Structure 1
Amino acid sequence: MPAIFSHRLWLAAMPLLFVVLWSTGFIGAKFGLPYAEPFTFLFIRSALTLALLAPLAHWLSGEWPRGIRLWGHIAVSGLLVHGAYLGGVFYGIYLGMPAGLASLLVGLQPLLTAGLAGPLLGERLTIRQWLGLLLGLVGVALVLGGKLDPGESLFQGFGLGALGAVLVALLGITGGTLYQKRHCTGMPLLSGTVVQYLATVALFGIGALLFEERSVEWAPVFVLTLGWLVLVLSISAILLLMALIKRGEASRVASLFYLVPPVTALQAWWLFDEALPSASLAGMAIAIAGVVLVVKGQPARADKPRT
């Protein structure tokens, strides 16, 4: 009986554990970026992940995408889902955007996806989803309004460059989700992720060569952060997601994704003293409610972004 209870408790905790792991990606960016530039940081992380994930994919499944065309589609989705998304988030935080706010903005991906799924994929929005879209926009306006600084920085601690970078991340993960749904339906999850990382490593490598000095300070904090992002987030979180999908729990993961911004904001407040004004807190609650309405009004998606 104790073994059965422990097994059931583990199954119940798996979706929440996945969300907690996902939220730490934003915190990892905050910890690691003082020691390496964004593209350089992401190139090292992606290369290490690829080196570990490729043999793991061969060992666990042995199934690889079939046909050069599918490989190409998977690579494009990787450039969007990993390249534009991670690059935008890391650059936004690098330029001063708080980790909690970055998490909230890219957490609006279900809203933007739902808004574009109609014209691009022929999906109809329900009244509940339209209400969710409206609430999400109102919430973001309140959050950004609460951070507005009439001084030169425009927002408290960051400017339009950081906001633009995170918006690129939002557009990247949204476009990647729609592209993957349309063109990568036959993608094996684990080996397909390897193909995505192949394209991502090339993108970040080119970015580091062209735009950065590629200097890294191998301080203990950076090494530990890199190890966490590679082993716990990029490897363990993927395996956990595979286990959830295998057990039919993907819908629970989708419904719990709206918890990521407040969990990230709580972690950022505790670790970095990132505080949000009362108007921003109200806006975050309204935006999360909007995401909940959109997610509850559509079929569950298994193709969630990875941090």
Structure 2
Amino acid sequence: MPPSLLSSLAASGFVVCWSSGFIGGRLAVEVALPPMALFAWRFALATLLVALWWRAWGTRSASRQGLFIEAGIGCLTMGGYLLGVMLAIQAGVGTAVTALITALQPLLATLLASLLLGPRSGGLRWLGMIIASVGVILCVAGDLGNADGAPLWAYGLPLLSVVSVTLGSILAARYPTAMAMDATLTAQLAAATGVFLIAALIEGHGRIALPALDSATLTAIGWLVFFSSLGATVSSSPACVASGST
């Protein structure tokens, strides 16, 4: 397959799989399992599947330092990001407003990258970031004016999600581990599992609910595992992206 075609297919697959999280969220609404427990089981199953793949067909070993770095990245880009989004929605922030706030992530990434990694942004980029930020502020202000709007502090939760995923991205750029994707994904998913396991135990007062083996629960977990967790990550892997330029 031509590298350019493979790169295009990977990019298309990433868009489809990444967007599938909204469908997974809709399916999760139909499940009686508490949200934190649902995501804990989702990441636990995804971790198990990738770890088995790494064990059976992995070709490279991984250093402890590399696994530790990738676990930190997973805590930020998967665990911290999704936890903030879920807590915001539970606190009453609308899904549309939450999505709008998290859409600021590329802007924050540009800002922090220019400060921490060296490349400087031009004046037009700064102007664009200011306009986009003002737009989000106006939307949040309008949402706050609603009678059933969330408290002001709740709007900071998706913003913390943006900060979390941005810091994770900068950590990945600053300390590349060059590990194989199966090892990288195992470490990141295991870290996200730990984040949501703690959240589920807090939500359940020291106990975590078990998933029911009904069609709604299995469909929701399966969708979140295979499309949102594995599909989005595989299609966005450096190997797929780089294939278009090699």
Offset of 1:61 from its aligned partner? 4.1
Q: Give the gaps of 5 or more residues in structure 1.
A: 250-307
Offset of 1:224 from its aligned partner? 1.0
Letter in 2 for 1:207: A
Offset of 1:56 from its aligned partner? 2.2
- Mapped to 2, the partners of 1:231 and 1:63 lie a distance apart of 24
Match for residue 215 of structure 1? 209
Change in CA separation of 1:17 and 1:129 when aligned onto 2, cut-off 3 Å: same
Match for residue 265 of structure 1? none
Say which SS state the counterpart of residue 178 (structure 2) adopts.
coil
Q: Give the gaps of 5 or more residues in structure 2.
A: none
Instruction: Tell me if structure 1 keeps the 8 A contact 2:33–2:211.
Output: yes
Match for residue 121 of structure 2? 125
1:169 lines up with 2:131 in the alignment = no
Match for residue 106 of structure 1? 102
- Mapped to 2, the partners of 1:17 and 1:73 lie a distance apart of 27
Cα deviation code 1:109-135 (max 9, x no counterpart):
110011111222222112232122112
Instruction: Tell me if structure 1 keeps the 8 A contact 2:144–2:152.
Output: no
Q: Does 1 or 2 have the higher relative contact order (CA < 8 Å, sep 6+)? A: 2
- Mapped to 2, the partners of 1:161 and 1:59 lie a distance apart of 47
1:65 lines up with 2:67 in the alignment = no
- Mapped to 2, the partners of 1:186 and 1:13 lie a distance apart of 23
Q: Output the TM-score relative to the length of structure 1.
A: 0.68
Match for residue 148 of structure 1? 144
1:78 lines up with 2:70 in the alignment = no
Match for residue 91 of structure 2? 95
Change in CA separation of 1:149 and 1:202 when aligned onto 2, cut-off 3 Å: same
1:54 lines up with 2:51 in the alignment = yes
Offset of 1:36 from its aligned partner? 2.7
Percent identity over the alignment is 29
Instruction: Tell me if structure 2 keeps the 8 A contact 1:83–1:204.
Output: yes
Change in CA separation of 1:15 and 1:133 when aligned onto 2, cut-off 3 Å: same
Instruction: Tell me if structure 2 keeps the 8 A contact 1:27–1:99.
Output: no
Say which SS state the counterpart of residue 234 (structure 1) adopts.
helix
Aligned residues: 240
Q: Output the TM-score relative to the length of structure 2.
A: 0.83
